[in-house]
Amino acid sequence: MNFPNDFLWGGAVAANQCEGAYSEDGKGLDIQDVMPKGILSGPTAEPTSDNLKLEAIDFYHRYPEDIKLFAQMGFKVFRTSIAWSRIYPNGDDAEPNEKGLAFYDRLFDECHKYGIEPLVTISHYETPLHLAKAYNGWASHELIGFYERYVRTIFARYKGKVKYWLTFNEINSVLHQPLLSGGIMTPREELSLSDLYQACHHELVASALATKLAHEIMPDAKVGCMVLAMPVYPLTPAPDDMIAVMQADHFNDFFGDMHVRGRYPGYMKRYFRENGITIKMTPEEERLLRENTVDFVSFSYYVSICEGRDGEAGGGNLLGGKKNPYLKTSEWGWQIDPQGLRYTLNRFYDRWQKPLFIVENGLGARDVLVDDGRGGKTVEDDYRIAYLNDHLVQVGEAIADGVPVMGYTTWGCIDLVSASTAQMSKRYGFIYVDRNDDGTGTLARYPKKSFYWYRDVIASNGAVLKA
């Protein structure tokens, strides 16, 4: 495999899934603090003791130890997010929280100590709870202004420390998980299509505004959008199944089209027209979208799906779809499709002609801690090595196809709390964290077998991958 010499190898986490310290140093509550079961049940009135994210893996206090471990693997880049409510505890505060700003100064400085470039997600499923309760999250136009204040603050603060920025995590997921993705308290079934797409519009305008401000405040910075990528295959060659695939692609491509092209595409205008959806927008917002497109497109990749008239429902797949009879599934019902990653990279580049960055990919599995034979503990996670190897081989194929791929950050490079199920037992990391679903555990860190495998992959720039 021939990867570019400047390829950015690394790993990814989100603040709400790893930091913990949910009420320390002036941090306000965010939506995750009242989502103890992830997306499996509604929010609680207040934080409850069964919410593992309140402490998570205590990255807030243990980040020097963890960054050192990432450096031992040879990370070139580390993707994390800033918890909005650490900076503006309520989201609509007049002044930022200095202790929150100082924490990320320390974190980014620690990365740079080892030559690791931070890749920062501005909003990663972490809407301040006050904005969700008082304004109904991104359903409100007012959030654009609060987001602008937040991004101005962090851009001014970290302009010498962070080069790569993502505006919203998996922005297309707001259609399916409005609370998680958009801080919208109204239950999904009670939201009209106009409400949902108006919220999308607010996020898209805010994203364009952030891109504009980043380029003004940090001329050397690169700003990307971030979408949940999920290739769609037809169940049969029937023309009806191909049209179903086209329509499914449209709903996901829409968000990338808006970020790269800056205009509402014709297929969405038709969908809006035929479903009575009205989007309120100003000429200024249209101009903002058109004139402030992203520098690159980033995405998460875990699964592919099928569409067609028949077939079995997709089970564990986050965005639905039908099961592919040719694919195996993970323990959580997600279908495993390495070649779908090559297909996605080619399709996205053909469509958008922008550099691409794979910022999430990984396997959630129930790992077992065992003695390593040297007086320590480890996990023999050959299944994770096989999964990542097979996906990275396909990244190499896409690069050979001519696709400019900036880098690859595996999801949950250290074990953390699952976003969808809020479990610890759904582990993704190269580093085992001793914490259980019931909250017990020492929080001790143990490198897994995959830790050393990934170290060798990075050191060889992909040469040790096995086709």
Q: Report d(CA 439, CA 428) in Å as an integer.
A: 18
Residue owning tokens 């990279």: 345
12 sits in which H/E element: strand 8-12
Between the CA atoms of 384, 181, 227 and 229, what dihedral angle is there, to the nearest 10 degrees?
A: 50
Number of H helices, E strands in the chain: 14, 14
**Chain centre distance of CA 127:** 14
Pairing between β-strand 431-433 and β-strand 445-447 as defined by DSSP bridges = antiparallel
In 389-440, beta strands by DSSP E: 405-411, 431-433
Provide the H-helix boundaries in 93-219: 98-113, 129-135, 142-158, 178-182, 193-217
CB 304 within 8 A of CB 335: yes
Q: Report d(CA 67, CA 78) in Å as an integer.
A: 9
Q: Running DSSP on this structure, what letter comes out for residue 52?
A: G
Residue owning tokens 């505060």: 93
**Chain centre distance of CA 275:** 30
Exactly one of 110, 126, 203, 360 is catalytic; name it. Answer: 360
Nearest CA among 148, 141, 138 for reference residue 180: 138
360 is catalytic: yes
Q: Report d(CA 405, CA 412) in Å as an integer.
A: 20
3-state DSSP assignment of residue 443: coil
3-state DSSP assignment of residue 356: strand
Question: Judging by beta carbons within 10 Å of its beta carbon (0-12, 13-18, 19+), is residue 312 exposed, middle or buried?
Answer: exposed
User: Which sequence positions are flagged as catalytic?
Assistant: 360
